[in-house]
Structure 1
Amino acid sequence: MKHIFLKTVLAALLMGGATTSCVNDLNISSIDPQSSSSYGDMELLAKIYSTLGLTGQRGPAGNGDISSDEGESGFYRTTFNLQELCTDECAWAWQTDADIPQITNIEWTSSSPRVQWAFQRLAFDVTLCNFYLTNTEDKAEDPQYKLYRAEVRFLRALHLWYFLDLWGKAPFKTTYDIYELPVEKAGKDLYDWIDKELTEIEPQMAEVGEFNNTANFGRADRGAAYMLHARLALNSEVYTNGTVKDYQKAIDYCDLLEGKYELSKADKNGYTGYEQVFMADNDENPQAMKEIILPIRQDGVKTKCYSGANYLVSSTRITGMPYMGTNNGWSSNFARAALVKKFFSNLDDCPLATEKAPDNATEADIIALDEAAGTTTKDVQRKANDDRALFYSGCGGGLRSIEFEQIAGFNSGLSIVKWSNIRTDGAPTSHVEFPDVDIPLIRYAEMFLTRAEAKFRLSGDPQQARADIEVLRSRAGASTPATITEQFIIDEWCREFYMEGRRRSDLNRFGLFTGDKYIWDFKGGVAEGKSVADYFKVYPIPADDIRGNENLNQNEGY
C-alpha cells in the first residue's frame, strides 16, 4: 500500500446512513458505492486515510465531502479550531467571521456551525471506516486484509477519541447500515470501548516503527496505537468523570515506545531539530521523520486543500513577512499574550520591532532591518533561551503588539512561525501557495510528557516528571528548574505542543480550561479574561443532530 493516499485515485464516495444522526445532516454529494462499480477496496482505504488531510474529491475546492464551506470542513482544521481558538495560545484576527467570536470567547451554543462542522466531519470519517470494515468482513482472515482492517479500526478509534474528548460522547455505530441510527455512547462506556478496541487491534497492526520510513510514511502502525492508548489513559479521569485513573497504563504504553523513535535534535543548515519537525521536507529529512509517529501527508501539488498544512502556514502569515514559504498569507491566527508568557515571564524581555519598515521595503530590506533591531525569530529564540519560541516580532507586514486591549487585526499579537513551508536544504517547495509540510498528528515528544505527567499523577510528586521533561527541554536548549511544579508541567505541554491542536484537552485535564483558576487574555470575551462556566468543558451536540436522532441527548448546560 505504498504511498497509497498520494498515488491512488480516490473513489467518489460517500453513502447514506452516515454515523451522524441522519443523512440529510451531512448533505452528502457523492455516489452510493453499493450501486456503483467505480470504487475498490484499495481506493476505499486510500479515501479513509486521505480524509485526515483532504476535504473532497478534487481539491482545493469543488466536489467536497460535506456541502458546507469546503475549506472549513476538513478533519484537521475543524478539530484544531475547537482545540485551539478558544484557548490561551492563539486568536483569529477576523472576529466578524461566522461563529469566530463565540469560539474565541467560549460562548458557543448548540447552533454553532463550527461545532457542527467538526461533528459532521468526524461522523463522515467514521462512516467511511464502517463501510470499509463491513464490506471487507469476508476477507478478515486474509493476512493482508487483517492488517488493513486493523489500520482502519485504529483510524475509527482515533476519530471516536476526538468525539470523546470534544463532546464526552459519540453517535456510535460499528457497522454500515443505512436503516439503523447510531446510538449514544458516552463517558466511561465510550472510554472502555476505545480501550478494548485498541487492545484488540494492536497485535494485528504492523510492529512499532515499521511504517516510519519513506515507503510507508503516513500509515498507522502499532506505535500510533500505543501512543493513542497512552493519551486515552492519561485523560481517563476526565473522560470517566473520575471513576477511572489509568495512569499506570499510560506509563506502560509509553514504555513500549521508548527507543523505537528518536527526537529530532541536530541542527541542519541553521534550523534546530525542533524546527525541522514542522518544515516542508519533514517527510524526507530522516531525523524529522524519526520523531513523527503518524503524519497527515500533505503535498503542494497532490493534496491541495484549505484545511490542513495550508491552514497552519497561511493563517499565520501576512504579506510582507520574511521567509513566508507561501504567496498567500491569510493574516488570521496570531499569538495571545498568554502563549508568549510561557517563554517570557516578563513580556518586556521579548524583542519587538518599534520602527515601521519603508513602504517599498523588499524582503532583503526587512531581514536587514530585523537583524539590526534584534527582532528576528532567532533573536526571540535566543532571548527566550528556548528553541521552541518560534515567534516573529519584526517589522515585516507591519508593527505588532504582544498584549492588546481588543482583537483588532492580525498584528494585535506576535506572529507564530512554528509551521513553515520552507525546506531545510534550501530547495524550492512543490508549490508557491499550497504547502508540502506533513502534519505530525502523533509524535514521539508526546511520549515523554505523557509519561512525565502520568508519573506525577500516580505519585503526587511533580519531581517524578523531571527526567522526561528534561529530555525535551534539553533538546530545546532550555534549562530545567530544580523544582518541577504542577504548573510547570502544564506550561511545558504548551511550550512543546502549541498550535498542534490539543491545548483545550490539556487545560481540561488540569482543571484550567473553565472556571477562574487560570485566566488568560480574552477568556470569556473580555481583554483581561474572566471565569467561564464548567459546562463549557465539552461542546454541545449540534441541534440539527439532536433533532435528527432520538438516540442522542444534549450535554448538560446547553
Structure 2
Amino acid sequence: MKKNIFKLLMMCSGVFLASCTDLEEDLIGEIDQAVSIDEPSTNFAGGGNGGNDALSVAFSQLRDAGSANHGGYWSVQSVSTDEMAVTQKGGDWYDGGIWIDMHRHTFGPSNGPIEGTWNQQYTAIAACNDLLATSLDANQTAQVKVLRALFYFRLLDLYGRVKLITATGTDAPQSTRQQVFNFVETELLTALGIPAVTGAMDLSASPLGVEVNPYRVNQYAALGLLAKLYLNAEVYTGTPRYLEAANAASYVIDNSGYVLCGVGCSVPNPGKRPAVDTDPETLEGYAAVFAPNNQDNPEIIWSVAYDGVTGGGMNFHVMSLHYSSQFTWNFVDQPWNGYSALEDFYNSYDNADARKEASFIVGPQFDYNGSAILDYAATDGQLELNYTPEINELEPNASRKGGARLGKFSHRLFQRSEMDNDMPIIRLGEMYLIRAEGLARAAGDWSLAGPDVNTIRARAGLGAMPTLDADSFLAERGREMFMEATRRQDLIRFGKFDDPWWEKTNNDAYKSLFPIPQPQIDAANGTLTQNPGY
C-alpha cells in the first residue's frame, strides 16, 4: 500500500516521560512535498508475541515490566552507568531533572523512574502469583516460578530489601537482601530439581524440559539465571559464589544445543534500503543476534517476545534517534532524540570490532533514497544530520546531534512505534563471559578467563588478548553486553560504580542500591523502611 510521509522535521511526540515541551521552537514547519513510498506487501516475520498458551498472561509481563522501553527497568539500569545518558536539549528532555539525576547519581526516593520500575516488577509478580493459584502441571508451575524469580532478582539487585509476596491478596514483611537472595536461589534450584550447583549435575529430576523455545523457560534458561545470580552473590550477600556461577554457565555451554551466532549465522536485513549500497543484504554474526528478525537465533536461550503489532514494549529507535531520522528507514512515527552513548564508551571499541558498527549509529545520515537528511532547525549552521560521538554537555543545551545513537537492536523499513526485535534475557554469549569471570575470580587468576573471552572476541573479528586483568575483562564484557541492562551490575561488582565518568562526579557508595520509592514507604504503614543513605 502507499504511505504518504510528510517531513515534519522537529515535531515532538507526546509520550510517557518523553520530554518534548518546546513545540513552538521545535516544530519548524513541514516540507510541502509528500514522499510516496511503496511499502512491501508481504508481512514482516517479526518476533511474535510469544505464543498463546496457559502461561501467556504471565510471560507477557516481561514486555510490560520495562525490559526494553523508556522510563522503567531498562532505563534505570542503563542511564545510571557509563554506557549512555539522556541529555537535556534546551526545553527537551529536562523532565524535572530525573535523567540528569540518574546519570549523576543524585537521585532520591521520589525519582519517578525508580518508583515506576518497582511498580512494574510487583505488577508482574502479582500476575505470576495469580497464575500459580490456578491448576498448572509441574512443568508449568516450575516455569512460572522461574519467571517470578527473575522479577525478584531484579528487585534484589535494584533495591535489596523488598517484600517477598508469593500469594494473591497477601502482604509480607520487608525481607533482608540475604533473604531475598535465598528465595530466588531456592526457587531456581527447585525448578532444576537439584540441591546445589556442582561441576557434575544431574537434572533428570527437573520438571523443566530442554525444548528450545526462547519465549518459555527450559533447564538452560533457569541455569542461566542462576549463573547471573551467583555471579553477583558477593555484592548481594557478602559471600562469593563464583565457582557455582562458572559451573552453571559451563553446563549450559557444554550440554545445550545453543551456539554462538558467528560466520554463516545470518538473516536478511530488514533495514536494507534499496537505494543505499552500503546497507548489507544480510546481517551476520553479532548483528544477527539483535536484528528485528532474531526470533530463531541459535544463541538466544530465553528472550522477551516483541512484535510491532501484537507485542509492543520495545522502542529504542524513538528513544534514541534524532527527529529527522524518521526518514532513514521511513518510520511510521517520529523519534524523540533522547538517549545517546557516552563518547568514552563508544571509543572503547577497536575500529575493527564488528560489535562497534553493529551497536552504534554515527556519521552522516541518509534517507530511504540515499539522499542526505537535513535538519532545518540546526543551530550550528550544519544542516546535514551527522551524529558525532562527542556530546558538548549533559545539560542545559546539549547538542541535538551529539552522541553515537543506540543501534544494536537494529531497525527495519517502515517500522512502527514499537520494534520487532526480541530482547535476550539469557544468551550463550553471556554464559561464556560468566564462566570466564567465575573461574578467574574463584582462582584469583584472570588468565583463566582468556579462552572464553577470546572465543567472544573471535566472533567480533578480533584477535586474542595476550593478557587479561580485571579492568580489561570489564571493558570487554561492556563491549559485548552493551544495551542489555547488565552494565550497572557489572560496574558495582567490579567496584567501579562510584568512579567518576563524563558529567558524573558523585561517589556515594550507598547509591549502588536504589532507594525504596517514597510513595511505597508512605503507603506501607510502617512495613517498609528506607535503604541507608537516603
TM-score range, shorter chain: 0.7 to 0.9
Partner residue, 1:149: 141
- Which residue of 56, 74, 80 maps to 2:74? 80
- 2-side partners of 1:263 and 1:509: how far apart? 25
- Name the SS of the counterpart of 2:424 in structure 1: strand
- Classify 1:396/1:460 alpha carbon distance in 2 versus 1 (closer, same or farther; 3 Å): farther
CA apart distance, 1:396: 6.0
Two-structure CA RMSD over aligned residues (Å): 3.0
Change (3 A) 1:522 1:363: farther
The aligned counterpart of 2:403 is 413
Match of 2:217 in 1: 220
Counterpart of 1:404 in structure 2 is 392
Q: Is the 8 A contact 1:317 1:324 kept in 2?
A: no
Equivalent position amino acid for 2:309 in 1: V
Q: Which residue matches 1:490?
A: 474
- Specify the code of the residue in structure 1 equivalent to 2:122: A
Once the 2 structures are TM-superposed, how far is the Cα of residue 77 of structure 1 from its aligned partner? 5.3
Amino acid at match of 1:400: T
Aligned counterpart, 1:184: 174
**1:89 to partner: Cα distance:** 0.6
CA-CA distance at 1:486 after TM superposition: 0.7
2:461 is the counterpart of 1:464: no
1:300 aligns with 2:302: no
The partner residue of 1:89 within 72, 75, 83 is: 83
Alignment partners' CA distance in 1, 2:513 and 2:426: 22
Note the C-alpha offset of 1:283.
1.0
Does 2:54 match 1:50?
Answer: no
C-alpha distance in 2 between matches for 1:169 and 1:318: 39
Unaligned runs of 5+ in 2: 1-46, 194-205, 267-280, 375-381
**Distance (whole Å) between structure 2 residues aligned to residue 233 and residue 443 of structure 1:** 16
1:93 counterpart letter in structure 2: T
Counterpart-to-counterpart distance in 2, 1:551 and 1:301: 41
Tell me the amino acid that sits aligned with residue 192 of structure 1. N
Greater Cα shift, 312-321 or 477-486: 312-321
Does the CA-based 8 Å contact 1:356-1:395 persist in structure 2?
Answer: no
Q: Indicate the residue corresponding to 2:131 in structure 1.
A: 132
Q: Which has the higher helix share?
A: 1
- Secondary structure of 1:309's match? coil
Partners of 1:109 and 1:433 in 2: CA distance: 31
Is the CA contact (8 Å cut-off) linking 1:314 and 1:331 kept in structure 2? yes
Which amino acid is the alignment partner of residue 128 of structure 1?
A
* Distance apart, 1:278 and its partner CA: 0.9
State the partner residue of 2:322.
Answer: 318
Distance (Å, rounded) in 1 between the aligned partners of 2:146 and 2:512: 26
- Cα separation, 2, equivalents of 1:470 and 1:354: 27
**Which secondary structure state, in structure 2, belongs to the residue aligned with residue 293 of structure 1?**
strand
Q: Distance between the aligned counterparts of 1:354 and 1:132, measured in 2?
A: 45
Deviates more, 1:166-175 or 1:227-236: 166-175
Tell me, yes or no, if the aligned pair for 2:68 and 2:314 is still in contact at 8 Å.
no
8 Å CA contact retained: 2:70, 2:319: no
Q: For each residue in 1:509-532, what CA deviation from the matched residue of structure 2 results, as whole angstroms up to 9, or x when unmatched?
A: 001001xxx321022xxxxxx242
Q: Is the 8 A contact 1:448 1:469 kept in 2?
A: yes
Query: Match of 1:207?
Result: 209
Of residues 242, 251, 254 in structure 1, which corresponds to 2:246? 251
CA distance in 1, matches of 2:384, 2:215: 35
Structure 1 residues 323 and 468: alpha-carbon distance in aligned structure 2, compared to 1, 3 A threshold: farther
Equivalenced residue count is 436
Deviation at 1:7, TM superposition (A): 5.3
Distance in structure 1 (CA, Å) of the matches to 2:306 and 2:421:
6
Alignment-derived partner of residue 431 in structure 2 = 447
Aligned-pair distance for 1:102?
A: 1.5
Give the residue type in structure 2 aligned to 1:256: Y
- Pair 489,134 (structure 1): closer, same or farther in 2 beyond 3 Å: same
| Cα pair 1:320 1:363 within 8 Å, conserved | no
State the shift of 1:121 in Å.
0.8
Q: CA deviation at 1:330?
A: 2.1
Contact 2:69 2:75 in 1 (8 A): no
Q: Aligned AA for 1:96?
A: Y
Q: Is the 8 Å Cα contact of residues 387 and 405 (structure 2) preserved in structure 1?
A: no
Letter in 2 for 1:181: D
State yes or no: 1:274 paired with 2:275.
no
Partners of 1:353 and 1:233 in 2: how far apart? 34
Q: Deviations over 1:296-331 (max 9, x none)?
A: 111111123xxx322x23222224447547343222
DSSP 3-state at the match of 2:85: strand
Paired residues for 1:61-76 under 5 Å: none
> Structure 1 residue 190: deviation in Å?
1.5
- 1:401 Cα shift? 4.4
For residue 135 of structure 1, report the CA deviation from its aligned partner. 3.1
Does structure 2 retain, via aligned residues, the 8 Å contact 1:541–1:554? yes
SS in 1 for 2:162: strand
For residues 326 and 221 of structure 1, do their structure 2 counterparts lie closer, same or farther at Cα, with a shift above 3 Å needed?
A: farther
Task: Name the counterpart of 2:339.
Answer: 333
Aligned-residue offset at 1:271: 2.4
- How far apart in 1 are the matches of 2:242 and 2:423? 27
- Identity between Structure 1 and Structure 2 (%): 26
In structure 2, distance between residues paired with 1:509 and 1:419: 26
Structure 1 pair 395/91, CA: closer, same or farther in 2 (3 Å)? farther
Task: Extract unaligned runs of 5+ from structure 1.
Answer: 9-41, 56-71, 140-144, 370-393, 423-427, 524-529
> Using a 3 Å threshold, how does the CA distance of structure 1 residues 471 and 401 change in structure 2: closer, same or farther?
closer
Partner amino acid, structure 2, of 1:332: G
* Cα deviations by residue, 1:10-33 (Å, 9 ceiling, x for unpaired): xxxxxxxxxxxxxxxxxxxxxxxx
Q: Distance in 2 between matches of 1:441 and 1:487?
A: 25
Given that residues 294 and 441 in structure 1 are in contact (C-alpha distance below 8 angstroms), is that contact kept between their aligned partners in structure 2?
yes
C-alpha change, 1:117 and 1:223, in structure 2 (3 Å) is: same
